[in-house]
Structure 1
């Protein structure tokens, strides 16, 4: 019969149909989030879908758990009293500075390792951080622009698990608080 295909692995990608479908779903969520930052603010499900930390942790091989170079960790502590006194621009600047610090460390480590088991989680992490940076930098905020600045003195680690933990704390902590603070935009759009 013409046009009939075997169910299972995709010959060109080496992916089974379930993984291919999941990849397409995640890609569509990321695309929507990247192109429409306000939709990202208003859709908690899209924010949760973009956070890949749990999947990355579960897919780590032993070779990937210890890094060859120290990675500076993002600032994750949230002081609620001082947070409430910051402008939206200042809050965004804090989060963007933390994401930039982390992505630079990930890029350095990725450049030093061979392709394989250890490089895949770092590549996914770098792409994920870039997605958050795109969303935050394209988000329309009122008030004067504020240069991104760290709210802490960064610590460093050789543990990819610690990097993922701190990244998750940044995304589910500071970034989520910021999105909740911006939710008033959702009803006015």
Structure 2
């Protein structure tokens, strides 16, 4: 699928979700994000941001550091957490990244950096909105295990951490929630 079509698919999913969250009776829900692998991949704009950064000389060094989200995890420990704890870890990482990007956007930026950081902030915010509104079954401790974070002024490293969060913890949680896809489809 061409990059433009993938981008439109991800944007369409986000628009449907946004509309559904505000309009009663709409059927798009955060679970739709979980159930549609292609839409989830299309929504991941990290490669697009990296390509844009490569075309823009000097955009890799940010004027101030961004605190990198916690993406490191031990798979066996991750598997022992409740769905709520897993979501809490992801939400905490997304909030950390979102806050860092917002703070850097207040700094003087190059012509290249401003649109890159705006797109990154929008992408992080979209994921945060979807993950926050996932309906999770069962009870569980909502505590979040923090790992040491480090600040970085390297936009490449920031994007790498964001990508690792999406392709690691978020994909693992989505895989765990796919059992709800059949149930969600039957309710339509």
Which TM-score band (shorter chain)?
0.7 to 0.9
| 58-67 or 163-172: bigger deviation | 58-67
- Secondary structure, counterpart of 2:62 in structure 1: strand
Query: Is 1:188 paired with 2:172?
Result: no
> Are 1:141 and 2:133 matched, yes or no?
no
Aligned length: 172
The structure 2 residue matched to 1:31, chosen from 9, 15, 22, is 15
Q: Which runs of 5+ in 1 are unaligned?
A: 1-17
Q: TM-score, normalised by structure 2?
A: 0.83
Structure 1 residues 29 and 115, CA, compared in 2 at 3 Å: closer, same or farther?
farther
Which residue, out of 67, 88, 92, partners 2:62?
67
Distance across 2 between alignment mates of 1:184 and 1:19: 29
Give the match for residue 169 of structure 2.
Answer: 174
1:70-109 residue pairs with structure 2 within 5 A?
70-109=65-104
Query: What runs of 5+ residues in structure 2 fail to find an aligned partner?
Result: 21-28
Q: Measure how far apart 1:179 and its partner are.
A: 0.2
Runs of 4+ in 1 over 2 A off after TM superposition: 18-27, 32-35, 113-116, 142-151
Q: Show CA shifts across 1:98-117 (max 9, x none).
A: 00001111011111124721
Q: Could you tell me how far 1:149 is from its partner in structure 2?
A: 2.9
Larger Rg: 1
Report the aligned-residue RMSD.
2.3
Q: Secondary structure at the match of 1:176?
A: helix
Q: Distance in 1 between matches of 2:61 and 2:155?
A: 6
**8 Å contact kept, 1:29–1:49:** no
Could you say if the C-alpha distance between residues 68 and 150 of structure 1 is closer, same or farther in structure 2, counting changes exceeding 3 Å?
Answer: farther
Residue number in structure 2 paired with 1:126:
121
